[in-house]
Amino acid sequence: MIDGRKKLKGKISVSGAKNAALSIIPAAILSEEPSIITNVPDISDVRFISEILTQMNVRIRKIGDDTLEIDPKNIKQKPATYDLVRRIRASYYLLGAMLGKFSNASVPLPGGCNFGVRPIDQHIKGFTRLGASCKMNGGMISIKAKKIVGNSVYLDIASVGATINVVLAAVKAEGLTVIENAAKEPHVVDLANFLNSMGADVRGAGTDMIKIYGVKKLKGTSYSIVPDQIETGTYMIAAAVTGGDVTIENIIPKHLEAIKSKLEEIGVKVTEKESSIRVVRKSQLNRCNIKTMPHPGFPTDMQPQISALLALAKGTSIISEGVWDNRFRYTEELKRMGANISVDGKIAVIEGVNSLTGTTVKATDLRAGAALVIAALAAQGKTTIENTGHIERGYSKICKKLSDLGANIVKIDGEEPVLHLQKAL
């Protein structure tokens, strides 16, 4: 529950990137030796992927607040249970990681946020190019190869998941794999850096061509995950929507260029330093148009949050969703708070209003939940957000971080879908 209209002020530190952690944790099984991973965000998606690996006899030990030791020495090739896999989209990284390790993999079809059809044809295309055959049967994907052999892989779409999966499958392949039209997101680069620290030879991550020279063996490593670009952007917008003054630490400014540039257009002052960013908003919010695109474009994972901000801007803003088919479901909830938004397919037209009013709303997915938090921080009165399990999938200690900045936020119900997993970590 959030009692709105408190200006956020002060400093917070962001956690490690969810989407990097979700590929790096399964990638650790590619070695026989343990790896130590730090700056791991304390979120339920990390607990889910860890629980899936634990079921496969990988030993995962939590050290302190943000460090995991992952020891894959006794890993067993048993498929994860559907009950866990359906909760987390990134469980498809088990396919690439297991293929890279055992030359075969079997995983139930994954779940995750529900915003339209989420095909994995490009992942399958990549695996097939590396010499594997794929079958889908009874909700399971099974992939087998005599051996994985490097090849060229052209992705029809610069898919983050397909790029990462092909890299995972190819690091220990025989020969060279070249991915063209690869995704360039910071977490793709982070995964490549992690694998290289294990002794892999992955070159060009962050550009649209990635070359992977297969190596025979990977060793254990110690690695720190990059800061979460989307968590940072979310707090930048939270600062802006409340007319606050917030410094966010432990960030990489280069990852925030698209978000910074749009916030400046909206009338927010953003000052970067080497590893921090300060967001101050004193004046009226201006309208602006946004089209979401793969990196380095404006991230789709920030679209709901910035729409919540623009709901309070002067004038009409047009938001075009360029990545997902159906990522505007949250607008119905914002409308219940007084926002004036109409959606037609992949376009939303936002007529700015002077104020929003607190009520009971429901998070329909992770970033939708973040958008409702932002709206609630600015709204008149109290907002109760239901289904906060979605938010806890991707935001570490969000109530504490916002309270530290002066927000009036409290978790009033113990919705804790992953409580039993705490034991595993």
Interface with ligand EPU (CB under 6 A): 18-19, 22, 89-90, 113, 118-123, 157, 159-162, 183, 185, 300-301, 323-324, 366-367, 394
Q: Which is nearer to ligand EPU, 89 or 281 (CB)?
A: 89
CA dihedral 57, 93, 306, 15 (to 10 degrees): 40
Pairing of β 2-3 and β 408-409: antiparallel
Which H helix or E strand runs over 106? Answer: strand 104-108
Cis peptide before 110 (omega within 30 of 0): no
Query: In terms of CB distance, is 19 or 317 closer to ligand EPU?
Result: 19
Least separation in angstroms between residue 22's CB and ligand EPU is 5
Q: How far is the CB of 251 from ligand EPU (least distance, A)?
A: 17
CA separation for the pair 326, 181 (Å, rounded): 24
Q: What distance lies between CA 203 and its chain's CA centroid?
A: 23
* Least spacing, CB of residue 322 vs ligand EPU, in Å: 9
The reply to whether 113 belongs to the active site is: yes
Catalytic residue selected from 113, 134, 288, 399 = 113
Closer of 247 and 307 to ligand EPU (Cβ): 307
Q: CB of residue 268 vs ligand EPU: minimum separation in angstroms? A: 22
Closer to ligand EPU by CB, 281 or 393: give it: 393
Closer residue to ligand EPU, CB minimum distance, 26 or 79? 26
Q: How many CB atoms are closer than 10 A to CB 399?
A: 18
Shortest distance in whole angstroms from residue 323 CB to ligand EPU: 5
User: Number of C-alpha atoms within 13 angstroms, CB side, residue 334?
Assistant: 36
Cβ-contact 39, 66 below 8 angstroms? yes
Q: Using the minimum distance from each CB to ligand EPU, give the nearer residue, 157 or 280.
A: 157
Helices (H), 28-92: 44-55, 82-85
Residues in the chain: 425
In the complex, the smallest distance separating the C-beta of residue 292 from ligand EPU, rounded to whole angstroms, is 9
| Closest-CA residue to 336 (of 299, 289, 371, 298) | 371
Counting Cα atoms < 13 Å in the Cβ hemisphere of 254 gives: 4
Query: Distance of CA 186 to CAs 9, 168, 193, 299, Å?
Result: 28, 16, 11, 11
Residues designated as active site:
113
